[in-house]
Chains A and B, each alone.
Chain A
Amino acid sequence: GDSVTQMEGPVTLSEEAFLTINCTYTATGYPSLFWYVQYPGEGLQLLLKATKADDKGSNKGFEATYRKETTSFHLEKGSVQVSDSAVYFCALADNTNAGKSTFGDGTTLTVKP
């Protein structure tokens, strides 16, 4: 079945540091890939997405590129802020499986001033 493997956390960075959160996937079809962010006590918000190989998703300074050859979708940001502290989930939606989403375990990011 489909699966998503995320870099284990927690990740603690100083403000303005560079962020990378690794994500790899396995899927039988041709999935779309997503990064979601969850702030404490809240639901998930879509951060960015990519629907086919070599697509780059970007939003709020975050980027991720759909790499089919390495089955990866790593999240990056050049300069993190304290307000970026949250839990980040990598996910895929497989159009051969009724569009169900499969989530990684989440990576907790804490940014210190």
Chain B
Amino acid sequence: GAVVSQHPSWVICKSGTSVKIECRSLDFQATTMFWYRQFPKQSLMLMATSNEGSKATYEQGVEKDKFLINHASLTLSTLTVTSAHPEDSSFYICSARDQGGGLYYGYTFGSGTRLTVV
């Protein structure tokens, strides 16, 4: 079945630095990828929709300049947390759908990235 690889699984960074998280679809082409943030014991909050070859669509309240999203190919989307601060510490998860999937086959999720900013 469809597999989405997310890397790294966990990262610790210093306050003020930037961190890049990668999301790759391994055996299908993902025209659309979604980035979520999940706080402990809470549900997933959609941050942005990443579309291949175009600008990402951010949800209300999500800072575009802080969370940079690049979807340069049909198999790779990246999320860069710029000038990270402790309040950015969270679990970030990506999901992807292929051109014919999503609504009918469900979305495939990456394994998530635990970001800790110290």
Contact = CB atoms under 8 A, between A and B. Distances in A.
A51 interface: yes
Nearest to B9: A41
Interface size class of B (residues with CB under 8 A): 20 to 34
Main secondary structure of the interface of B (DSSP, over half): strand
B106 A105 contact: no
Contacts of B104: 32, 49, 51
B109 A45 contact: yes
Contact of A89 (B32, B43, B108): B43
A95 interface: yes
Contacts of B115: none
Interface size class of A (residues with CB under 8 A): 20 to 34
Interface string B63-90: 0000000000000000000000000000
A62 interface: no
A61 interface: no
Contact of A43 (B6, B34, B42, B97): B6
A105 B43 contact: yes
B46 A104 contact: no
B44 interface: yes
A42 interface: yes
Contacts of B46: 100-101
A46 interface: yes
Contact of A103 (B43, B102, B108): B43
Given A93-B102, A93-B103, A99 B111 contact: no
A93 B93 CA distance: 17
Interface of B: 6, 32, 34, 41-44, 46, 49, 57, 93, 95, 97, 102-112, 114
3 smallest beta-carbon distances between A and B, as pairs: A46-B106, A43-B109, A44-B109
